[in-house]
Amino acid sequence: MSNRRTTVEQWLTQQDGLDNLRRSSAPMPSPGKDEVLVAIHSVSLNYRDTEVAMGLYKYYDQPGDDPSKPLVPASDMCGVVIAVGEGPHTIPWKVGDRVLSTFVQAHLTGQITPAHLATGLGKPLPGVLQTHRVFPTYGLVRAPGHLSDHEASCLPIAAVTAWMAVRGAHPTLKGKTVLLQGTGGVSISGLQIAKASGARVILTSSSDEKLARAKGMGPFAPDFVINYRTTPQWQDEVMRLTDGRGVDVVVETGGAQTLYKALDCIAFGGVVACIGYTSGREDEGSRPNINLLVLRRTVTLKGILNGPRDQFEEMCAFYEEHGIKPVVDRVFGFGEADEAFKYLFSGQHFGKVVIKVAE
Ligand SMILES: NC(=O)c1ccc[n+]([C@@H]2O[C@H](COP(=O)([O-])OP(=O)(O)OC[C@H]3O[C@@H](n4cnc5c(N)ncnc54)[C@H](OP(=O)(O)O)[C@@H]3O)[C@@H](O)[C@H]2O)c1
Protein backbone atom coordinates (compact mmCIF):
# COMPACT_ATOMS: atom_id res chain seq x y z
CA MET A 1 0.00 0.00 0.00
CA SER A 2 2.95 2.35 0.71
CA ASN A 3 3.79 3.11 -2.95
CA ARG A 4 0.21 3.71 -3.76
CA ARG A 5 -0.91 7.06 -5.03
CA THR A 6 -3.01 9.07 -2.64
CA THR A 7 -5.22 10.73 -5.20
CA VAL A 8 -7.50 9.63 -7.99
CA GLU A 9 -7.47 11.52 -11.29
CA GLN A 10 -10.87 11.86 -12.79
CA TRP A 11 -13.09 13.58 -15.29
CA LEU A 12 -16.27 15.32 -14.23
CA THR A 13 -19.40 16.50 -15.96
CA GLN A 14 -22.10 18.77 -14.68
CA GLN A 15 -24.33 17.54 -17.49
CA ASP A 16 -24.01 20.92 -19.14
CA GLY A 17 -22.44 20.03 -22.46
CA LEU A 18 -19.60 18.13 -24.01
CA ASP A 19 -17.47 21.30 -23.93
CA ASN A 20 -17.64 21.47 -20.18
CA LEU A 21 -16.18 18.16 -19.11
CA ARG A 22 -13.33 18.94 -16.74
CA ARG A 23 -10.46 17.25 -14.93
CA SER A 24 -10.30 16.95 -11.17
CA SER A 25 -8.75 14.85 -8.47
CA ALA A 26 -10.11 13.19 -5.36
CA PRO A 27 -8.66 11.33 -2.40
CA MET A 28 -7.87 7.66 -3.04
CA PRO A 29 -10.77 5.59 -1.63
CA SER A 30 -10.34 2.40 0.37
CA PRO A 31 -12.48 -0.63 -0.25
CA GLY A 32 -15.02 -1.36 2.47
CA LYS A 33 -16.83 -4.56 3.33
CA ASP A 34 -17.43 -6.74 0.24
CA GLU A 35 -15.67 -4.15 -1.94
CA VAL A 36 -12.49 -4.00 -4.00
CA LEU A 37 -10.35 -1.12 -5.24
CA VAL A 38 -9.67 -1.30 -8.97
CA ALA A 39 -6.96 0.45 -10.95
CA ILE A 40 -8.81 1.34 -14.13
CA HIS A 41 -6.90 0.56 -17.31
CA SER A 42 -9.36 1.21 -20.13
CA VAL A 43 -12.76 2.85 -20.45
CA SER A 44 -15.03 2.53 -23.45
CA LEU A 45 -17.64 5.15 -24.17
CA ASN A 46 -21.22 4.68 -25.12
CA TYR A 47 -23.75 6.96 -26.77
CA ARG A 48 -25.35 7.26 -23.33
CA ASP A 49 -22.25 8.91 -21.91
CA THR A 50 -22.57 11.73 -24.44
CA GLU A 51 -26.22 12.11 -23.52
CA VAL A 52 -25.34 12.29 -19.84
CA ALA A 53 -22.70 14.93 -20.47
CA MET A 54 -25.15 16.98 -22.55
CA GLY A 55 -27.86 16.80 -19.90
CA LEU A 56 -30.12 14.71 -22.12
CA TYR A 57 -30.15 11.50 -20.11
CA LYS A 58 -32.97 12.22 -17.67
CA TYR A 59 -35.13 9.15 -18.03
CA TYR A 60 -34.67 7.92 -14.49
CA ASP A 61 -34.13 11.24 -12.71
CA GLN A 62 -35.65 11.48 -9.25
CA PRO A 63 -37.23 14.58 -7.73
CA GLY A 64 -34.46 16.55 -6.03
CA ASP A 65 -31.67 15.24 -8.26
CA ASP A 66 -29.21 18.04 -8.97
CA PRO A 67 -27.74 17.75 -12.49
CA SER A 68 -25.16 20.43 -11.73
CA LYS A 69 -23.55 18.20 -9.09
CA PRO A 70 -20.21 17.09 -10.56
CA LEU A 71 -20.39 13.49 -11.76
CA VAL A 72 -17.71 11.13 -13.03
CA PRO A 73 -19.11 9.95 -16.37
CA ALA A 74 -18.90 6.60 -18.19
CA SER A 75 -19.70 3.08 -17.09
CA ASP A 76 -17.54 0.62 -18.99
CA MET A 77 -14.05 -0.20 -17.84
CA CYS A 78 -11.41 -2.85 -17.70
CA GLY A 79 -9.00 -2.76 -14.78
CA VAL A 80 -7.13 -4.71 -12.16
CA VAL A 81 -8.03 -5.33 -8.54
CA ILE A 82 -5.38 -3.70 -6.35
CA ALA A 83 -6.93 -4.00 -2.90
CA VAL A 84 -9.62 -6.16 -1.34
CA GLY A 85 -11.84 -4.95 1.49
CA GLU A 86 -13.09 -6.89 4.43
CA GLY A 87 -15.13 -10.03 3.89
CA PRO A 88 -17.38 -11.84 3.61
CA HIS A 89 -17.15 -11.40 -0.14
CA THR A 90 -19.96 -12.07 -2.57
CA ILE A 91 -17.29 -12.74 -5.20
CA PRO A 92 -13.82 -13.70 -3.94
CA TRP A 93 -11.62 -11.40 -6.07
CA LYS A 94 -7.89 -11.41 -5.50
CA VAL A 95 -5.34 -8.65 -6.01
CA GLY A 96 -4.22 -8.88 -9.63
CA ASP A 97 -7.53 -10.12 -11.02
CA ARG A 98 -8.43 -8.40 -14.28
CA VAL A 99 -12.04 -7.27 -14.17
CA LEU A 100 -14.80 -5.48 -16.08
CA SER A 101 -17.48 -3.26 -14.60
CA THR A 102 -21.13 -4.12 -14.99
CA PHE A 103 -23.21 -1.14 -16.09
CA VAL A 104 -26.06 -1.55 -13.58
CA GLN A 105 -24.20 -2.80 -10.56
CA ALA A 106 -27.09 -4.37 -8.63
CA HIS A 107 -28.73 -6.03 -11.65
CA LEU A 108 -27.49 -9.55 -11.07
CA THR A 109 -30.23 -11.59 -12.72
CA GLY A 110 -33.71 -11.45 -14.24
CA GLN A 111 -35.76 -8.40 -15.10
CA ILE A 112 -34.26 -4.98 -14.41
CA THR A 113 -36.16 -2.81 -11.91
CA PRO A 114 -36.10 0.87 -10.88
CA ALA A 115 -34.14 -0.15 -7.77
CA HIS A 116 -31.45 -1.68 -10.00
CA LEU A 117 -31.34 1.43 -12.16
CA ALA A 118 -30.39 3.49 -9.13
CA THR A 119 -27.05 1.66 -9.29
CA GLY A 120 -26.13 2.58 -12.88
CA LEU A 121 -22.55 3.73 -13.32
CA GLY A 122 -21.89 7.14 -14.86
CA LYS A 123 -25.32 8.29 -13.64
CA PRO A 124 -26.70 8.14 -11.10
CA LEU A 125 -23.60 6.57 -9.48
CA PRO A 126 -20.13 7.99 -10.10
CA GLY A 127 -18.68 6.44 -13.24
CA VAL A 128 -15.41 4.99 -14.34
CA LEU A 129 -13.66 7.84 -16.17
CA GLN A 130 -11.09 7.94 -13.42
CA THR A 131 -7.87 6.20 -12.51
CA HIS A 132 -9.28 4.22 -9.57
CA ARG A 133 -12.67 3.28 -8.24
CA VAL A 134 -14.08 1.12 -5.48
CA PHE A 135 -16.65 -1.43 -6.66
CA PRO A 136 -18.83 -3.92 -4.78
CA THR A 137 -17.42 -7.36 -5.50
CA TYR A 138 -20.65 -8.29 -7.32
CA GLY A 139 -20.35 -5.25 -9.63
CA LEU A 140 -17.49 -6.81 -11.62
CA VAL A 141 -16.97 -9.74 -13.96
CA ARG A 142 -13.73 -11.42 -14.94
CA ALA A 143 -12.24 -10.03 -18.14
CA PRO A 144 -11.93 -12.64 -20.91
CA GLY A 145 -8.29 -13.69 -21.16
CA HIS A 146 -8.08 -13.40 -24.95
CA LEU A 147 -8.90 -9.69 -24.98
CA SER A 148 -6.67 -6.68 -24.39
CA ASP A 149 -7.78 -4.18 -21.75
CA HIS A 150 -9.07 -1.86 -24.46
CA GLU A 151 -11.01 -4.60 -26.16
CA ALA A 152 -12.44 -5.95 -22.94
CA SER A 153 -13.60 -2.49 -21.84
CA CYS A 154 -16.01 -2.46 -24.80
CA LEU A 155 -18.16 -5.28 -23.46
CA PRO A 156 -20.33 -4.02 -20.57
CA ILE A 157 -22.93 -1.94 -22.38
CA ALA A 158 -22.54 -2.37 -26.14
CA ALA A 159 -21.88 -6.10 -26.27
CA VAL A 160 -24.22 -7.12 -23.45
CA THR A 161 -27.04 -5.10 -25.03
CA ALA A 162 -26.38 -6.64 -28.44
CA TRP A 163 -26.21 -10.09 -26.84
CA MET A 164 -29.60 -9.66 -25.18
CA ALA A 165 -31.12 -8.33 -28.39
CA VAL A 166 -29.72 -10.90 -30.80
CA ARG A 167 -29.57 -14.04 -28.69
CA GLY A 168 -32.80 -13.27 -26.87
CA ALA A 169 -34.76 -12.91 -30.09
CA HIS A 170 -35.18 -16.52 -31.23
CA PRO A 171 -34.35 -19.92 -29.72
CA THR A 172 -31.91 -20.46 -32.58
CA LEU A 173 -30.41 -18.03 -35.05
CA LYS A 174 -29.28 -20.61 -37.57
CA GLY A 175 -30.89 -19.73 -40.88
CA LYS A 176 -32.32 -16.51 -39.47
CA THR A 177 -31.56 -13.05 -40.83
CA VAL A 178 -30.60 -10.18 -38.54
CA LEU A 179 -30.66 -6.50 -39.53
CA LEU A 180 -28.22 -4.15 -37.82
CA GLN A 181 -28.35 -0.38 -38.21
CA GLY A 182 -25.21 1.70 -38.47
CA THR A 183 -21.75 0.74 -37.40
CA GLY A 184 -21.68 1.94 -33.80
CA GLY A 185 -20.77 -0.05 -30.72
CA VAL A 186 -24.01 -1.98 -30.34
CA SER A 187 -24.37 -2.78 -34.05
CA ILE A 188 -20.86 -4.08 -34.54
CA SER A 189 -21.12 -6.20 -31.38
CA GLY A 190 -24.43 -7.47 -32.73
CA LEU A 191 -22.79 -8.30 -36.03
CA GLN A 192 -20.12 -10.42 -34.34
CA ILE A 193 -22.63 -12.17 -32.07
CA ALA A 194 -25.12 -12.82 -34.88
CA LYS A 195 -22.50 -14.19 -37.27
CA ALA A 196 -21.00 -16.38 -34.56
CA SER A 197 -24.52 -17.68 -33.89
CA GLY A 198 -25.00 -18.79 -37.49
CA ALA A 199 -27.30 -15.97 -38.64
CA ARG A 200 -27.20 -14.09 -41.92
CA VAL A 201 -26.65 -10.38 -41.35
CA ILE A 202 -27.66 -7.26 -43.22
CA LEU A 203 -25.77 -4.18 -42.05
CA THR A 204 -26.58 -0.57 -42.90
CA SER A 205 -24.37 2.50 -42.67
CA SER A 206 -24.15 6.06 -43.92
CA SER A 207 -20.64 5.34 -45.15
CA ASP A 208 -19.33 3.06 -47.90
CA GLU A 209 -15.92 3.09 -46.20
CA LYS A 210 -17.41 1.74 -42.97
CA LEU A 211 -19.36 -0.89 -44.90
CA ALA A 212 -16.19 -1.95 -46.69
CA ARG A 213 -14.46 -2.23 -43.33
CA ALA A 214 -17.28 -4.42 -42.04
CA LYS A 215 -17.00 -6.58 -45.17
CA GLY A 216 -13.37 -7.18 -44.19
CA MET A 217 -14.26 -8.71 -40.83
CA GLY A 218 -13.64 -12.26 -42.03
CA PRO A 219 -16.01 -14.76 -40.40
CA PHE A 220 -17.91 -11.86 -38.84
CA ALA A 221 -18.44 -9.99 -42.10
CA PRO A 222 -22.06 -9.11 -42.89
CA ASP A 223 -23.67 -11.05 -45.72
CA PHE A 224 -25.16 -7.91 -47.23
CA VAL A 225 -24.56 -4.21 -46.70
CA ILE A 226 -26.71 -1.19 -47.56
CA ASN A 227 -25.77 2.48 -47.50
CA TYR A 228 -28.81 4.12 -45.93
CA ARG A 229 -27.79 7.54 -47.26
CA THR A 230 -27.62 6.54 -50.90
CA THR A 231 -30.50 4.06 -50.48
CA PRO A 232 -32.90 5.99 -48.26
CA GLN A 233 -35.66 3.41 -48.85
CA TRP A 234 -33.36 0.69 -47.52
CA GLN A 235 -36.31 -1.31 -46.24
CA ASP A 236 -37.18 -2.13 -49.86
CA GLU A 237 -33.65 -3.37 -50.44
CA VAL A 238 -33.89 -5.51 -47.30
CA MET A 239 -37.08 -7.06 -48.67
CA ARG A 240 -35.37 -7.70 -52.00
CA LEU A 241 -32.35 -9.31 -50.31
CA THR A 242 -34.64 -11.60 -48.33
CA ASP A 243 -36.78 -12.61 -51.33
CA GLY A 244 -39.71 -10.63 -50.03
CA ARG A 245 -39.69 -12.39 -46.67
CA GLY A 246 -38.10 -9.76 -44.43
CA VAL A 247 -35.63 -10.19 -41.59
CA ASP A 248 -36.21 -12.20 -38.44
CA VAL A 249 -34.54 -9.78 -36.05
CA VAL A 250 -33.96 -6.04 -36.15
CA VAL A 251 -31.52 -4.58 -33.66
CA GLU A 252 -33.26 -1.19 -33.66
CA THR A 253 -30.65 1.33 -32.64
CA GLY A 254 -31.76 4.06 -35.04
CA GLY A 255 -35.04 5.28 -33.57
CA ALA A 256 -37.02 8.06 -35.21
CA GLN A 257 -35.81 7.63 -38.77
CA THR A 258 -35.51 3.85 -38.76
CA LEU A 259 -38.22 2.17 -36.70
CA TYR A 260 -41.04 2.58 -39.22
CA LYS A 261 -38.81 1.32 -42.00
CA ALA A 262 -37.76 -1.61 -39.84
CA LEU A 263 -41.42 -2.48 -39.40
CA ASP A 264 -41.71 -2.52 -43.19
CA CYS A 265 -38.98 -5.12 -43.63
CA ILE A 266 -39.50 -7.41 -40.64
CA ALA A 267 -40.62 -10.96 -41.38
CA PHE A 268 -43.90 -12.33 -40.03
CA GLY A 269 -43.17 -13.33 -36.44
CA GLY A 270 -39.97 -11.31 -36.40
CA VAL A 271 -38.54 -9.52 -33.39
CA VAL A 272 -37.71 -5.81 -33.31
CA ALA A 273 -35.42 -5.20 -30.36
CA CYS A 274 -35.96 -1.55 -29.41
CA ILE A 275 -32.61 -0.31 -28.22
CA GLY A 276 -31.76 3.22 -29.23
CA TYR A 277 -32.34 6.37 -31.19
CA THR A 278 -29.15 7.48 -32.92
CA SER A 279 -31.24 8.96 -35.77
CA GLY A 280 -33.47 10.96 -33.44
CA ARG A 281 -35.37 10.66 -30.18
CA GLU A 282 -38.63 12.20 -31.41
CA ASP A 283 -41.08 10.74 -33.89
CA GLU A 284 -43.23 12.94 -36.10
CA GLY A 285 -45.35 15.31 -34.06
CA SER A 286 -42.60 15.66 -31.46
CA ARG A 287 -43.70 12.52 -29.66
CA PRO A 288 -40.97 10.55 -27.92
CA ASN A 289 -39.68 7.88 -30.30
CA ILE A 290 -41.32 4.52 -29.71
CA ASN A 291 -37.96 2.83 -29.14
CA LEU A 292 -37.37 5.20 -26.28
CA LEU A 293 -40.75 4.49 -24.71
CA VAL A 294 -40.35 0.74 -25.10
CA LEU A 295 -36.79 0.44 -23.85
CA ARG A 296 -37.43 2.79 -20.91
CA ARG A 297 -39.42 0.05 -19.17
CA THR A 298 -38.11 -2.92 -21.15
CA VAL A 299 -41.58 -3.78 -22.38
CA THR A 300 -42.43 -6.16 -25.20
CA LEU A 301 -44.80 -5.03 -27.93
CA LYS A 302 -45.94 -7.99 -29.99
CA GLY A 303 -48.18 -7.97 -33.01
CA ILE A 304 -50.93 -10.60 -32.87
CA LEU A 305 -52.84 -11.92 -35.87
CA ASN A 306 -55.38 -14.30 -34.37
CA GLY A 307 -54.01 -17.71 -33.43
CA PRO A 308 -53.63 -21.21 -34.79
CA ARG A 309 -56.11 -24.08 -34.59
CA ASP A 310 -54.13 -25.97 -31.95
CA GLN A 311 -54.25 -22.94 -29.67
CA PHE A 312 -57.98 -22.63 -30.31
CA GLU A 313 -58.46 -26.23 -29.22
CA GLU A 314 -56.29 -25.69 -26.16
CA MET A 315 -58.37 -22.66 -25.30
CA CYS A 316 -61.65 -24.53 -25.63
CA ALA A 317 -60.40 -27.15 -23.21
CA PHE A 318 -59.36 -24.39 -20.82
CA TYR A 319 -62.85 -22.80 -21.04
CA GLU A 320 -64.41 -26.15 -20.29
CA GLU A 321 -62.08 -26.88 -17.42
CA HIS A 322 -62.74 -23.50 -15.81
CA GLY A 323 -66.41 -23.15 -16.71
CA ILE A 324 -65.76 -19.89 -18.57
CA LYS A 325 -68.73 -18.45 -20.48
CA PRO A 326 -68.47 -15.48 -22.84
CA VAL A 327 -70.34 -12.39 -21.65
CA VAL A 328 -73.17 -11.43 -24.00
CA ASP A 329 -74.21 -7.85 -23.42
CA ARG A 330 -77.10 -7.58 -25.82
CA VAL A 331 -78.73 -9.64 -28.50
CA PHE A 332 -80.19 -7.88 -31.53
CA GLY A 333 -82.73 -9.40 -33.85
CA PHE A 334 -81.68 -10.10 -37.36
CA GLY A 335 -83.74 -7.15 -38.63
CA GLU A 336 -81.98 -4.78 -36.30
CA ALA A 337 -78.52 -5.79 -37.34
CA ASP A 338 -77.72 -2.21 -38.34
CA GLU A 339 -78.67 -1.10 -34.84
CA ALA A 340 -76.34 -3.73 -33.50
CA PHE A 341 -73.50 -2.24 -35.49
CA LYS A 342 -74.25 1.27 -34.22
CA TYR A 343 -74.60 0.01 -30.71
CA LEU A 344 -71.24 -1.67 -30.91
CA PHE A 345 -69.62 1.43 -32.41
CA SER A 346 -71.12 3.57 -29.64
CA GLY A 347 -69.10 1.58 -27.16
CA GLN A 348 -71.98 1.22 -24.70
CA HIS A 349 -71.62 -2.50 -24.54
CA PHE A 350 -69.82 -4.77 -22.10
CA GLY A 351 -68.55 -7.97 -23.55
CA LYS A 352 -70.10 -9.12 -26.80
CA VAL A 353 -72.88 -7.85 -29.02
CA VAL A 354 -74.79 -10.63 -30.77
CA ILE A 355 -77.25 -10.75 -33.67
CA LYS A 356 -79.83 -13.50 -33.57
CA VAL A 357 -79.96 -14.70 -37.13
CA ALA A 358 -82.34 -17.63 -36.95
CA GLU A 359 -85.57 -17.91 -34.90
N1 LIG B 1 -31.18 0.07 -24.48
C2 LIG B 1 -29.91 -0.14 -24.10
O3 LIG B 1 -29.61 -0.84 -23.13
C4 LIG B 1 -28.83 0.51 -24.90
C5 LIG B 1 -27.51 0.10 -24.76
C6 LIG B 1 -26.55 0.65 -25.58
C7 LIG B 1 -26.91 1.64 -26.50
N8 LIG B 1 -28.19 2.04 -26.57
C9 LIG B 1 -28.62 3.03 -27.54
O10 LIG B 1 -28.41 2.45 -28.82
C11 LIG B 1 -27.98 3.45 -29.72
C12 LIG B 1 -26.63 3.05 -30.28
O13 LIG B 1 -25.68 3.06 -29.24
P14 LIG B 1 -24.14 2.92 -29.57
O15 LIG B 1 -23.43 3.04 -28.28
O16 LIG B 1 -23.93 1.75 -30.44
O17 LIG B 1 -23.94 4.26 -30.39
P18 LIG B 1 -22.72 4.71 -31.29
O19 LIG B 1 -21.59 3.78 -31.14
O20 LIG B 1 -22.50 6.14 -31.00
O21 LIG B 1 -23.33 4.54 -32.76
C22 LIG B 1 -23.58 5.63 -33.55
C23 LIG B 1 -23.92 5.12 -34.94
O24 LIG B 1 -25.32 5.20 -35.16
C25 LIG B 1 -25.51 5.14 -36.57
N26 LIG B 1 -26.63 5.96 -37.03
C27 LIG B 1 -26.82 7.28 -36.95
N28 LIG B 1 -27.92 7.64 -37.62
C29 LIG B 1 -28.43 6.51 -38.15
C30 LIG B 1 -29.53 6.21 -38.99
N31 LIG B 1 -30.35 7.16 -39.44
N32 LIG B 1 -29.73 4.93 -39.37
C33 LIG B 1 -28.90 3.96 -38.95
N34 LIG B 1 -27.82 4.18 -38.18
C35 LIG B 1 -27.60 5.44 -37.79
C36 LIG B 1 -24.22 5.67 -37.21
O37 LIG B 1 -23.66 4.60 -37.98
P38 LIG B 1 -22.96 4.90 -39.39
O39 LIG B 1 -21.92 5.91 -39.11
O40 LIG B 1 -22.43 3.59 -39.83
O41 LIG B 1 -24.03 5.43 -40.31
C42 LIG B 1 -23.36 6.01 -36.02
O43 LIG B 1 -22.03 5.72 -36.22
C44 LIG B 1 -27.97 4.75 -28.93
O45 LIG B 1 -29.21 5.41 -29.12
C46 LIG B 1 -27.85 4.30 -27.50
O47 LIG B 1 -28.40 5.23 -26.59
C48 LIG B 1 -29.16 1.50 -25.79
CATH at 140: 3.90.180.10
Q: What is the mean pLDDT of the chain?
A: 94
Nearest atom, ligand 1, residue 210 CA: 40
185 pLDDT higher than 80 = yes
Quick one: 25 and 117 in the same domain? yes
What sign has the CA pseudo-torsion 339, 345, 351, 352? positive
Is residue 189 lining ligand 1, measured as CB closer than 6 Å? no
- 301 occurs within a structural domain: no
pLDDT bin (cut points 50, 70, 90) of residue 307 is: confident
Q: CA 35, CA 82: separation in Å to the nearest integer?
A: 11
Nearest CA to ligand 1 atom 45: 276
CA of 235 to the centre of ligand 1 (A): 18
The predicted pLDDT at position 47 comes to 93
CA of 180 to the centre of ligand 1 (A): 10
Closest CA to 295 of 269, 316, 275, 323: 275
Q: Which of 45, 47, 259 to mutate to test the pocket of ligand 1 (most atoms within 8 A of CB)?
A: 47
Is residue 182 lining ligand 1, measured as CB closer than 6 Å? yes
Q: Which pLDDT tens digit goes with each residue over 15-70?
A: 999 999 999 999 999 999 999 999 999 999 999 999 999 999 998 899 889 999 99
Amino acid identity of residue 328, one-letter, is V
Quick one: 275 and 315 in the same domain? no
The predicted pLDDT at position 1 comes to 45
CATH at 278: 3.40.50.720
Nearest CA to ligand 1 atom 21: 184
359 pLDDT higher than 90 = no
The predicted pLDDT at position 308 comes to 87
Q: CA 181, CA 203: separation in Å to the nearest integer?
A: 6
Q: Give the pLDDT mean for 92-115.
A: 95
Is residue 246 lining ligand 1, measured as CB closer than 6 Å? no
What is the DSSP pairing of strand 247-252 with strand 266-274?
parallel
Amino acid identity of residue 262, one-letter, is A
Nearest atom, ligand 1, residue 257 CA: 31
Nearest CA to ligand 1 atom 25: 182
197 pLDDT higher than 50 = yes
Query: Degrees (nearest 5) of the Cα angle 34, 35, 39?
Result: 155
Nearest CA to ligand 1 atom 34: 182
The predicted pLDDT at position 3 comes to 59
Q: Give the pLDDT mean for 144-158.
A: 94
- Single residue among 296, 329, 347 that ends a domain in this structure: 296
- 128 occurs within a structural domain: yes
Nearest atom, ligand 1, residue 277 CA: 45
Q: Give the pLDDT mean for 142-160.
A: 94
Q: Which of 278, 279, 298 to mutate to test the pocket of ligand 1 (most atoms within 8 A of CB)?
A: 278
- 330 occurs within a structural domain: yes
* Domain carrying residue 65: 7-153
The predicted pLDDT at position 100 comes to 95
238 pLDDT higher than 90 = yes
Q: CA 353, CA 359: separation in Å to the nearest integer?
A: 17
The predicted pLDDT at position 2 comes to 46
Per-residue three-class SS string for the chain: CCCCCCEEEEEEECCCCHHHCEEEEEECCCCCCCEEEEEEEEEECCHHHHHHHCCCCCCCCCCCCCCCCCECCCCEEEEEEEEECCCCCCCCCCCCCEEEECCECCCCCCCCCHHHHCCEECCCECCCCECEEEEEHHHEEECCCCCCHHHHCCHHHHHHHHHHHHHCCCCCCCCCEEEEECCCHHHHHHHHHHHHCCCEEEEEECCHHHHHHHHCCHHHCCCEEEECCCCCCHHHHHHHHCCCCCEEEEEECCCCCCHHHHHCCEEEEEEEEECCCCCCCEEHHHEECHHHHHHHCCCCCCCCCCCCHHHHHHHHHHHHHHCCCCCEEEEEEHHHHHHHHHHHHHCCCCCEEEEECCC
Is residue 254 lining ligand 1, measured as CB closer than 6 Å? yes
Asked if residue 166 lies in contact with residue 251, where contact means CB atoms within 8 angstroms, the answer is yes
Quick one: 123 and 138 in the same domain? yes
Nearest CA to ligand 1 atom 44: 276
CA of 318 to the centre of ligand 1 (A): 45
Quick one: 23 and 139 in the same domain? yes
Quick one: 135 and 191 in the same domain? no
Q: How many domains does the chain have?
A: 3
CA of 254 to the centre of ligand 1 (A): 6
- 303 occurs within a structural domain: no
CA of 279 to the centre of ligand 1 (A): 8
- 304 occurs within a structural domain: no
Burial class (CB in 10 A: 0-12, 13-18, 19+), 318: exposed
CA of 328 to the centre of ligand 1 (A): 50
Q: Give the pLDDT mean for 88-115.
A: 95
Report the percent of the chain where pLDDT is more than 90.
91
Residues 6+ apart with CB under 8 A from 43: 74, 76, 77, 128, 129, 153
- 203 occurs within a structural domain: yes
Closest CA to 14 of 53, 62, 45: 53
